[in-house]
Amino acid sequence: MHSYNTLIFDLDGTLTDSAPGILNCYRHTLSVMGFDEPDNIMSVLGPPLYDSFAQLCGMNEAQVNEAVRIYRTRYADTGLYENNVYSGIPEMLRQLKNNGKRLLVATSKPEVFAIKILERFRLAEYFDVIGGADINGSRNEKCEVIEYVLDRAGISDRNGILMIGDRYHDINGAKKCGVPCMAVLWGYGSYEELTQHGAEIIANTPQEAADIIINP
């Protein structure tokens, strides 16, 4: 296997289990706006907010903007903290860092929230750059966030870079940026989803991910 020296991590479903906060905020938003909960509400875990409200809930542009506002109001106060670090993540990050790997974060979550979460769980210290979506809705797609993070890190050569995430958005975003992706099965994506979208590597646990990267 190729040797990877720069690792770009997704946040939700990869470093932390943020499902309770995300789902509670979606349900709150739909209730306030008078929309029914979609049958496949678990599909909101991963994609950008704007896409989920438009595609899963059938909202128009004005409704999407209002939904995002309501969602983020609750998320900033409460949903942000309805979150837990996956077992084995701190140990994985420590091993990778101790083996000379450079660690970055690229998430579709607004950057201000991503930083607060990683600082709260004492994971921020492992990352050179924590990058996310812009709060005003720009830099929303995963490939845009990855490019933004690479630029902030001063990286132009794509050799030795690996994206690590749990949903097809991570895989597709990485491909658009010319970067391979390790898909992880402890998050929200199924094995079928991840293989169908062409993940180059699949890891079952954080320890397995560390072993694969450190001993290619």
Which amino acids are annotated catalytic?
Answer: 10
**Rounded distance, CA 59 to CA 161, Å?**
37
- Give Cα 154 distance to the centre of its chain: 21
Helix (H) or strand (E) holding 162: strand 161-165
Q: Is the Cβ–Cβ distance between 200 and 182 less than 8 Å?
A: yes
Q: What residues contact 52, with CB distance under 8 A and at least 6 apart?
A: 26, 43, 44
**Rounded distance, CA 197 to CA 179, Å?**
14
**Distance in angstroms between the alpha carbons of the first and the last residue of the chain:** 5
Task: Output the CA–CA distances (angstroms, integers) from residue 18 to 34, 109, 129, 191, 211, in the order listed.
Answer: 24, 11, 20, 20, 25
Bridge-based pairing state of the strands 129-133 and 102-110: parallel
Nearest alpha carbon to residue 8 among 136, 150, 116, 201: 150
As given in the structure block, the two tokens for residue 96 are 């990778």
